[in-house]
């Protein structure tokens, strides 16, 4: 791949669309990476449903960063508007969110995906056992997926976020609040969010215990 490094801001002054045009084939590789990991997830869902042992996956969503979103993040972190630099420094260009019923399910799904022989784990962050200060809980992983094209093969990083329904609901509300206040959230709302995060975790714990009593 041949790329040209341009200091942030300088490229847009000459041709605002040049960087976006160069990203089209670049992002296509990440789209294919998403397709690969989504296929793996769908296979697991169908297999577990067929076995009748209970499907741990409630629903799945995916997203691919837009050229504008990539430009904004690259500028924010001081990454040159260069495809090689972006590919090295920004690892959440492609992302998949998997929502599970129970905390144990989230760990199970993470293990099922990350132990497949063609999946390489670059990083795992356990925000379930070690939540962020604001109460955010989720399992995060950066995995690399091989993508086989007509004339070559590429390895594409994909970010996985695996969480429970309660965690996902809390994160969705938190995101909307921070967007509404442009990240300058009043202190009382921050406290309410932290309290809600504790309630969500308590719900996860209680529901897991009910599940254990019924099915254990």
Q: What is the pLDDT of residues 47-70, one digit of tens each?
A: 988 887 778 999 999 999 998 899
- Please compute the mean of the pLDDT values over residues 119-147 and round it to a whole number: 97
User: Domains in the chain: how many in total?
Assistant: 1
Let me know if 174 is a catalytic residue: no
Please state whether the predicted TM-score (pTM) of the whole model is above 0.85.
Answer: yes
Which structural domain, as residue segments, surrounds residue 142?
A: 10-165
CATH number at residue 31: 3.30.460.10
Q: For residue 196, is it within any domain? A: no
List of residues 6+ apart from 29 with CB closer than 8 A:
147, 149, 154, 156
Residue found by looking up tokens 């962050």 in the block: 125
Q: For residue 16, is it within any domain? A: yes
Q: For residue 95, is it within any domain? A: yes
Task: Count, in order, helices (H) and strands (E) of the chain.
Answer: 7, 5
* Residue of 159, 174, 188, 192 marked active site: 159
Q: For residue 128, is it within any domain? A: yes
Q: For residue 190, is it within any domain? A: no
Q: What is the pLDDT of residues 201-214, one digit of tens each?
A: 999 999 999 988 88
Residue 142 contacts residue 165 (beta carbons within 8 Å): no
Q: For residue 26, is it within any domain? A: yes
Q: For residue 184, is it within any domain? A: no
Q: For residue 174, is it within any domain? A: no
């Amino acid at each position: 791949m041949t790329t040209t490094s341009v200091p942030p801001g300088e490229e847009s002054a000459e041709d605002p669309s040049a960087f976006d045009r160069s990203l089209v084939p670049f992002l296509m590789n990440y789209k294919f990476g998403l397709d690969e990991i989504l296929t793996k997830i769908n296979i697991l869902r169908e297999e577990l449903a067929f076995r009748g042992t209970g499907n741990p996956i409630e629903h799945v969503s995916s997203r691919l960063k837009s050229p504008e979103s990539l430009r904004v993040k690259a500028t924010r972190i001081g990454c040159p508007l260069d495809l090689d630099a972006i590919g090295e420094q920004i690892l959440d260009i492609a992302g998949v969110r998997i929502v599970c019923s129970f905390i144990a399910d989230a760990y199970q799904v993470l293990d099922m995906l990350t132990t497949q022989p063609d999946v390489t784990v670059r990083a795992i962050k356990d925000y379930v056992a070690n939540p962020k200060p604001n109460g955010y809980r989720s399992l995060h992983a950066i995995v690399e997926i091989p993508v086989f094209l007509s004339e070559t093969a590429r390895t594409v990083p994909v970010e996985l976020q695996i969480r429970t329904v309660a965690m996902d609901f809390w994160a969705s509300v938190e995101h909307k609040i921070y967007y509404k206040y442009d990240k300058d959230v009043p202190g009382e709302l921050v406290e309410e969010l932290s309290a809600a995060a504790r309630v969500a975790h308590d719900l996860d714990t209680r529901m897991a215990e009910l599940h254990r009593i019924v099915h254990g």
